[in-house]
Structure 1
Amino acid sequence: MGKYTVIAEVSQSILALLRNELSPELIKKYEQINLCNPSKPEDVKVGIHLYDIQENSDFVQRNMIQKSNNELQFPPQSLTLYYLITVYSTADRQSKAVDEQRILGRVMQILGDHPRLENEALVGSLQEAGETFEIIRENMPYEDKIKLWQFPNTPYQLSMVYKVQPVRLESTKTKPIKRVKDVSIELKGEDHEHKSSR
């Protein structure tokens, strides 16, 4: 369960994974793999764009969490993060398409070989919390990808869509509870009635 930084840290964890696996073999400068808006890739060769966040009903937690002996914490929000991963090549016109397809193939291979983000693959507070996140490729039709690509004056680039879940965003809302100190027990029978307190 993460703090308000959990969304940014999941994005940074995906970024770190792709940088470690792609650079320097396919992409010499790791800075060319970055979080960015697809309409402004600048010097980016692999862009990671968080385009949507939705509540995930499959992982909803309804029970309160015992934070201490005197306090309960409200359950976290369960989220799914949706990413558009786009490849941009700076190669010449003749080899540009092949270069982009090679890089995209490697990205798909990396994320396919790492279906979970966990342990040392996580950054920041997520590693301390021992969280685990699933990385799932969305088989989105081309027409739906085009609808996502609402960037003026920017031609569509071949992209892949991935979702990461469950991302739990903790609540800051708590509820005080009182500890039971006295218990009263009443025993009833046919011939006697006994009441004791402790």
Structure 2
Amino acid sequence: MFPFKLDQLVLGFDRALRVVSGQAKAGRPNPAKEIDHDELSDQDKRHSAGLMRVNHVGEVCAQALYDAQGLFSGSEEVKRQFAHSGIEEEDHLAWTAQRLQELNSRASLLNPLWYAGAFACGVVAARCGDQASLGFVVETERQVQAHLESHLEKLPVQDAKSRAIVEKMRTDEIAHGEAAAALGAITLPLPVQSVMTAMAKVMTTTAYYV
């Protein structure tokens, strides 16, 4: 017996199509909305676009993870938390997509692949039980926080718009990890953490260019 209904599956499929096709919509104002455009060199624009494309891919993966983990969770409280975090992650998805357009760039051509892979990881995590699934969130958000902090160092100093978006994303990711920990997350074994780090490295390195 599946832990979800057919209508949930249909809605999930619809969400997946919107995510990979770039149709995400933000419920909160873009943190960079009131920031004036700075003049960036072509080289700086390409670099900022590469970093923001990586961040956009991260948000595609976040949608897939939270959708899968929520779908297979056995706890209504955990489902609600995944849904809440997923809504905020959709804001991130929309903000990074908008910034890519402003930089005259595009999202990753491999977004369907990133989504499918992340969804599969989310299913595996969820099937290991809610505590392990929450632990997966905590570790993911820890790695994402470090990744975003590195981008704040790598982004061109004058790219205030991208910086504002990344800083708000960082704040939200910390809150998501703390919420998962409060619900009873367990610490994942070191080998699992290492595999997650390696997978993230492949994704970030590839998405910067493709």
Q: Which has the larger radius of gyration?
A: 1
**TM, length-normalised to structure 1:** 0.29
Structure in which a larger fraction of residues adopt helix? 2
TM-score normalised by length of structure 2:
0.28
